[in-house]
Structure 1
Amino acid sequence: MKRTIKKVAVIGSGIMGSGIACHFANIGVEVLLLDIVPRELTEAEAKKGLTLDSKIVRNRLVNEHLSNSLKSKPSPIYNQKFASRITTGNTTDDMAKIAAVDWIIEVVVERLDIKKMVFEQIEKFRKPGTLVTSNTSGIPIHFMSEGRSEDFQKHFCGTHFFNPARYLKLFEIIPGPQTSSEVLDFLTDYGSKFLGKTSVVAKDTPAFIGNRIGIYGIQSLFHLVKEMGLTIEEVDKLTGPVIGRPKSATFRTVDVVGLDTLVHVANGIYENCPNDEQHELFKLPDFVNKMMENKWLGSKTGQGFYKKEGKEILSLDLDTLEYRAAKKASFATLELTKTIDKTIDRFKVLVKGKDKAGEFYRKSFAGMFAYVSNRIPEISDELYKIDDAMKAGFGWENGPFEIWDAIGVEKGIEIMKAEGLEPAAWVTDMLASGSSSFYTIKEGATYFYNIPTKSQTKVPGQDAFIILNNIRESKKVWSNSGAIIQDLGDGILNLEFQSKMNTIGGDVLVAINKAIDLSEKEYQGLVIGNQAANFSVGANIGMIFMMAVEQEYDELNMAIKMFQDTMMRVRYSGIPVVVAPHGMTFGGGCEMSLHADKVVAAAETYMGLVEFGVGVIPGGGGSKEMALRASDLFHKNDVELNVLQEYFMTVAMAKVSTSAYEAFDSGLLQHGKDIVVVNKDRQIAEAKKHALIMAEAGYTQPIRRNDVKVLGKQALGMFLVGTDQMQAGKYISEHDRKIANKLAYVMAGGDLSEPTLVTEQYILDLEREAFLSLCTERKTLERIQFMLTKGKPLRN
């Protein structure tokens, strides 16, 4: 049976329900969002003479919840315009409308009696065959569908989104006793392909997979912090980016999520898992009980493990339960990992540490390894699902079995035994059977140890992905210290940056030219893409700073010229070049995207020409390209100045899109040419597909442009008046005005007496000259230095 999702109903509009509604709107689905009718009027409603029968009052809760969600940061929606895809209503007046939807998602309060009442109501109106799912995080699925019809039970299961629904990728699918395999297969595929999620089918066990392991991890740290006499700052230092976890690490994450949420799930596991060998670990420590009594729940109550007073962040002392000034945490073991770029390579070093950090890692990993091995087959039959759940739901770069592999399976058992723990029997059976690791890579695919068959089995669902980690060495064509070129097959190459934060320096520029050379000679097309946290933070400003400080202006001029020429080579090569940005795509990374034949952007792409923040204008063709794109939009009888001004302001205000969809609004991406992929894992494969389509359709090398219309003095005068007024009103500094005036000169095409058609090279020369002149300014050097040392822009 072919099933399509054109419209969904979300029942329950709280933080989670509104977030799920927004994410369906993100992908173009029509949403009906419903909540209950208020029981009483607010003071404001009573003053206006409204009654409980008024539609405004009856839909107040749902409208307030959605409005609050849309205002929240980070935003749950890719573009505020997409909110028009959501229609609101209430469960009393509008429930009949669910007959017209394809999928009904229940997101009401976590009480079985209330959920069962909602399902009874749903059954009155849903058409047969409609999917019904619950976003429960802990109530057993089999209890919910009791008493419902055969058709309802067949099309019912749990679909557990993690909050916030837009950003966290885990999508747990939990079958009920009667859920059909067709429904499970459909939801698995839909979650991955359309929602951009990591779909994991979980067993109907308490807290499913992600929260069962995640809450164990947090609870074990709660006990370990007391046992080892650690501070919360020390634990957050040890459990953050150094081991590939979010910056919020442990305690700050609990503050953000809410201590009450964590307590609710931990209590559920404690009550419903009496046979768990770590049952007592889920009992809440005294300090957590006290915090719950005090309502110190985290961000939502203004204080939790951390508390902000004015500009100062205070930390909770777990012994005295009093707040104190935060203490900087440092460990010798962590210093040893500073030169190790890849997180996965750090674990071997961390568990060998001779200080408190080393002891902490040995204890916490020993506990985690033992726990996850014992959860098979209880919560999952396949070990890769546990890793997938932790990476997608908790933002871990590596799952527990991947970390265990990195340390070495036998070494992992050794540190377990030192802590009085034993792995599950299947782990020693695995070693006895000749498998020395949980995962292996073969022919670009990942295989996992299959416990029943005692053999390595291919992880399903990979065929839609190209995983660069799996082909980096086996498919390598060429590399230098800044980048590596891989053969993706079918005549398409991929260029992957390898520099710190994927900055673009001399090595990367050499690699881009080499990749184009190779593609033009022996291949059909080129993808420029990577699977790091961010596509590129832009040009190597450290290199620019050194040249400017040393006053090596000829070398700097040549470096900028090489950058410009390389971007133009991306535009005017003899093969299609597809750029695949994601995450931070700033400055030079953005300029590269602007010059591609096509951009295949991940939905979570934060793109912008941010050079103003370091005191310069875009110098790698970005200023030229914004002038060119404005020129292409000039139409007869247009107020051309207004069009140009929009593009000028995008650069001058260093605007960064909060999603790829927003980048279309600012002209950084182009409708009809560039596309967006919601699932980042599919991005390289999708980019390769489009490069191949262009190549096989008969790609023709583009002709360089000599028809860019610039407006000269007419535009320049307007911009200069505007920057004068901005400075006079104290909106910008004197140096901001100087940078803006330089940009104005470039985008106006200089001080030509009338509108003129010019070549791209003409504007590039103006751009390079402006960039160079700004590099001679002391205030620009101060801005670059501040960015290099502090990691944030300076306003001077």
Structure 2
Amino acid sequence: MNRNIKKVAVLGSGVMGSRIACHFANIGVEVLLLDIPPKELISIEEAKGLQLTDSAVRNRIVNASLDTAIKSNPAPLFSKSFAKRISTGNFEDDMSKIADVDWIIEVVVERLDIKKSVFDKVEQFRKPGTLITSNTSGIPIHLMTEGRSDDFIAHFCGTHFFNPPRYLQLLEIIPTPHTKRDVVDFLVHYGDKMLGKTVVLCKDTPAFIGNRIGVYSMLALTHLVDQLGLTVEEVDKYTGPAMGHPKSATFRTADVVGLDTLVNVANGLDQNAPDDEAKGVFTLPGFITQMVSNKWLGEKTKKGFYEKVKGADGTSEILSLNLKTLEYGSQSKVKSATLEATKQVEDIRKRMKVYEQGTDKAGELFRAMHYPLFEYVSNRVPEITDDFFRIDDAMRAGFGWEIGPFEVWDALGVRETLEKIKKEEKRLPGQRGEVAQWVHDMLAAGCESFYKIENGVRQYYDINSKSYKAIPGTEDLIVLDHIREAKTIWKNSGVSIIDLGDGIINCEFHTKMNTVGGDVIQGINKAIDIAEKDYRGLVISNDGKNFSAGANIGMIFMMAVEQDYDELNMAVRMFQNTSMRIRYSAIPVVVAPFQLALGGGCEFSMHADFVQLHAETYMGLVEFGVGVIPGGGGSKEFALRASDEFKEDQITQNTLKDKFLTIGQAKVSTSAVEAYELGYLQEGKYAITMNRARLLADAKAKAIELADAGYVQPVPRHDIKVLGNQGLGIVYVGASSMRAGNYISDHDKKISEKLGWVMCGGDLSAPTEVSEQYLLDLERKAFLELCAERKTLERIQHMLTKGKALRN
């Protein structure tokens, strides 16, 4: 049957429920959020003379929870205006409204009896065929169906969102044997395409997949610290980004999640997984038991493995816990030859090999934690999943690992690692030094790795057929890593131009942080040359962690310090010309940004025919932070857009002011939606992709669509209305008043006046229509003049050395 989710009911407004509601609102779904009514008045209600029967009181809990969620950081909503899509109520007065929804998601506390009581009420009002799911991190799903109707059972399964649901990509789907196949298929499809999740189909086993493996991995480390003589800060240094894990690593992650949460999952596994050969790992070491007893649970109690304290001089210091004495002290500097060696290796898979060969504590820990992990995950197949790749998916999407355990094993060599696993001296509870038989069968069948790439498609080893198969659901994805070697048609040190097929090519950056320098400028122009000659369209995107952090300010700094202004003028002119070429080429150009799209990355996006961007795109013109104005066409473009928004019946200076402040305050969007609200995107010229993995395929499809529609090369603009002195007066008065109030520095005032000068078209006696090139020349002149300022050079140097803005 065809399903269309127009309205969702979320039952339970706690931390998870309110944020799940927000994420559905993000994608345009109407949400009904319900919770229990309070049983007694609070003092403020008594003072107002309210009664328990008043709606403001009865919905107090749900409204307070939603309000807290909306104000939280990181924000659960793409835009605060989306809160209007959520209506609230309570279980007693408003449960009947679930008859009008398409999907009911239960998110009450983790107690089976409470969940069942909620389902009793749901059964009274739910219309047949409505999807019903329970968001749980550990309660067996099949236990929830006891006593339920046949239709309820057929449309019911578990859905485990990871917190926070907007940002963590993992969504586990846990069907029961009675869940209809089409229900499971729909939820997998909807979670992927609409919610933007990595959807992992799980068996109904304790803690499902993500927490089963993730908690095992974290607790394994707690058993190793004593054997290896490791400190808290050493573990977090060794198990962080160098290992392909998040910055919060191990113990910092436990503090953020809450030690009580970790312990609850561990106890659940200890009790409910009796046949787990390594269940001893889930028995907590003494220092964790004592920490829980002391209520040192992490951030929620201000103490955990770390404690933030203030000294007598008012400065803050983060102390770490000594696991032997359970006393807090200053953190010691962690040094490691192995870590230094890994810094030289950008490719995560090659880095794993370097890490494994380390001869110090870091290398020793890598081996002591990974060899038993390989053994453990191999033995979880087929217990928790029939397909091992789902374990890797869960660890990447739920725990932020760059590559999952089977991918790490592949990087080390599957066959080569078997003997090392047997010989590893540091043993964890239950570790035997022997992996599951299916791994030996795989090698015996001539399959030397868990994954391989064939014709641009990633395949996995299928245990049943003993052969490789395409990973389900990935057939229509485009992954540059999988096609780069075979499909690259041109490259230089910073760019690869790759044939995506169907007449579309992609220009990929691969500089550090994907910054824009001469090599990227050359690559974009070459890509447009090639596309105009032999192809139908161009996509500009990449597979990096960020689309682009902006211009290579190190290059700008060197030219400015050496006072090579002719060279700098030429570099800025080339940057501007490239932005203009993106807009005025003979073929459609689609830019597909994600994560950071700053400075030049933002300017390229602003000049594209179409922007296909990921929902989590943080876009902005941030040049003020390094003492200059946008010089790659951004200042010009905001003047152009202000002109297009001028209306006869409105004060034009107000429109100009909004655009000016967006640049002047270096505003960066917190989502793709906010990028539109800030003016970086234009109505009808952008679309949002929820799932990052699908971004490139969506961008290619848009390029084809534009080409098929009969793309016509645009004509440069000569009708941009600028306000001249009429606008400059307001800019100068505003900057002076901000300086007088000590809100900005003298240099900030100077940058503001330069920006105003460009956006107002310079010293013109009256509003005038000018060309894009006229504004670009003003923009470039102002940029160069600011680069000659000592305070600008100080700002650039501070950004290069400290990684943050200097307000001088």
Q: Same fold (TM over 0.5)?
A: yes
Q: Secondary structure at the match of 2:733?
A: helix
Question: What amino acid does structure 2 have at the position aligned with 1:672?
Answer: G
Q: Secondary structure at the match of 2:32?
A: strand
Question: What amino acid does structure 1 have at the position aligned with 2:294?
Answer: N
Residues 439-482 of structure 1, C-alpha deviations (whole Å, 9 max, x = no match)? 01011111101111111111010133111111111111111110
Query: What is residue 562 of structure 2 aligned with on the other side?
Result: 550
Question: What amino acid does structure 1 have at the position aligned with 2:257?
Answer: V
Residues 519-542 of structure 1, C-alpha deviations (whole Å, 9 max, x = no match)? 000000000011211100000001
Q: Secondary structure at the match of 1:462?
A: coil
Shift of 1:401: 0.5
Q: Secondary structure at the match of 1:247?
A: coil
Q: Secondary structure at the match of 1:165?
A: coil
Q: Secondary structure at the match of 1:242?
A: helix
Query: What is residue 790 of structure 1 aligned with on the other side?
Result: 802
Query: What is residue 26 of structure 1 aligned with on the other side?
Result: 26
Task: Map residues 272-671 of structure 1 onto 2, 5 A cutoff.
Answer: 272-310=272-310, 311-419=316-424, 421-671=433-683
Shift of 1:412: 2.2
Distance 1:303 1:625 in 2: 49
Does the CA contact (< 8 Å) of 2:41 and 2:52 recur in 1? yes
Query: What is residue 708 of structure 2 aligned with on the other side?
Result: 696
Distance 1:640 1:5 in 2: 42
Does the CA contact (< 8 Å) of 1:259 and 1:292 recur in 2? yes
Distance 1:219 1:392 in 2: 19
Distance 2:778 2:225 in 1: 59
Distance 1:57 1:685 in 2: 49
Does the CA contact (< 8 Å) of 1:210 and 1:393 recur in 2? yes
Question: What amino acid does structure 1 have at the position aligned with 2:554?
Answer: G
Question: What amino acid does structure 2 have at the position aligned with 1:260?
Answer: D
Query: What is residue 36 of structure 1 aligned with on the other side?
Result: 36
Distance 2:536 2:262 in 1: 52
Shift of 1:375: 0.3
Answer yes or no: is 1:712 the counterpart of 2:724: yes
Shift of 1:44: 1.3
Distance 1:362 1:661 in 2: 44
**Structure 1: which 5+ runs fail to align?**
none
Q: Secondary structure at the match of 1:4?
A: coil
Distance 1:463 1:636 in 2: 52
Shift of 1:410: 1.7
Query: What is residue 59 of structure 2 aligned with on the other side?
Result: 59
Shift of 1:328: 2.2
Question: What amino acid does structure 2 have at the position aligned with 1:88?
Answer: T
Shift of 1:306: 1.2
| Aligned residues between the structures | 796
Shift of 1:297: 1.2
**Structure 2: which 5+ runs fail to align?**
311-315, 425-431
Q: Secondary structure at the match of 1:649?
A: helix
Shift of 1:660: 0.5
- Counterpart pick for 1:730 among 736, 739, 742: 742
- Counterpart pick for 2:769 among 752, 757, 765: 757
Task: Map residues 73-112 of structure 1 onto 2, 5 A cutoff.
Answer: 73-112=73-112
Residues 366-403 of structure 1, C-alpha deviations (whole Å, 9 max, x = no match)? 01111100000000000111101111111111011111
Query: What is residue 48 of structure 1 aligned with on the other side?
Result: 48
Question: What amino acid does structure 2 have at the position aligned with 1:594?
Answer: M
Q: Secondary structure at the match of 2:485?
A: coil
Answer yes or no: is 1:199 the counterpart of 2:199: yes
Distance 1:545 1:410 in 2: 50
Answer yes or no: is 1:232 the counterpart of 2:244: no
Question: What amino acid does structure 1 have at the position aligned with 2:373?
Answer: M
Q: Secondary structure at the match of 2:342?
A: coil
Shift of 1:304: 1.2
Residues 747-791 of structure 1, C-alpha deviations (whole Å, 9 max, x = no match)? 111010000011111111111111111111111111111111111
Shift of 1:226: 2.1
Does the CA contact (< 8 Å) of 1:369 and 1:412 recur in 2? no
Answer yes or no: is 1:776 the counterpart of 2:788: yes
Task: Map residues 128-143 of structure 1 onto 2, 5 A cutoff.
Answer: 128-143=128-143
Distance 1:492 1:375 in 2: 42
Question: What amino acid does structure 2 have at the position aligned with 1:638?
Answer: Q
Distance 2:334 2:80 in 1: 40
Give the TM-score of the pair, scaled to structure 1: 0.99
Distance 1:60 1:360 in 2: 50
Distance 1:711 1:164 in 2: 46
Q: Secondary structure at the match of 1:457?
A: strand
Q: Secondary structure at the match of 1:794?
A: coil
Question: What amino acid does structure 1 have at the position aligned with 2:388?
Answer: L
Question: What amino acid does structure 2 have at the position aligned with 1:226?
Answer: D
Question: What amino acid does structure 1 have at the position aligned with 2:454?
Answer: K
Distance 1:19 1:245 in 2: 25
Question: What amino acid does structure 2 have at the position aligned with 1:358?
Answer: G
Query: What is residue 429 of structure 2 aligned with on the other side?
Result: none
Question: What amino acid does structure 1 have at the position aligned with 2:124?
Answer: K
Query: What is residue 189 of structure 1 aligned with on the other side?
Result: 189
Residues 611-665 of structure 1, C-alpha deviations (whole Å, 9 max, x = no match)? 0111111000000001111111112222111001100000000000000000111
Shift of 1:253: 1.1
Distance 2:328 2:726 in 1: 60
Distance 2:54 2:329 in 1: 51
Distance 2:475 2:439 in 1: 28
Distance 2:211 2:451 in 1: 23
Shift of 1:671: 1.4
Q: CA RMSD in A?
A: 0.8
Shift of 1:414: 2.5
Greater mean alpha carbon deviation, residues 781-790 or residues 518-527: 781-790
Shift of 1:285: 1.1
Question: What amino acid does structure 1 have at the position aligned with 2:327?
Answer: E
Q: Secondary structure at the match of 2:61?
A: helix
Residues 161-209 of structure 1, C-alpha deviations (whole Å, 9 max, x = no match)? 0000000111100011310101000000000010000111100000000
Residues 539-583 of structure 1, C-alpha deviations (whole Å, 9 max, x = no match)? 000111111111111111111111111111101111000000000
Does the CA contact (< 8 Å) of 2:345 and 2:351 recur in 1? yes
Question: What amino acid does structure 2 have at the position aligned with 1:339?
Answer: Q
Distance 1:74 1:40 in 2: 32
Question: What amino acid does structure 2 have at the position aligned with 1:418?
Answer: K
Greater mean alpha carbon deviation, residues 331-340 or residues 602-611: 331-340
Shift of 1:339: 1.8
Distance 1:763 1:411 in 2: 62
Distance 1:244 1:375 in 2: 22
Residues 221-269 of structure 1, C-alpha deviations (whole Å, 9 max, x = no match)? 1111222111111111111111221111111111111111111111101
Distance 2:684 2:621 in 1: 22
Question: What amino acid does structure 1 have at the position aligned with 2:533?
Answer: K
Distance 1:723 1:412 in 2: 65
Does the CA contact (< 8 Å) of 2:510 and 2:544 recur in 1? no
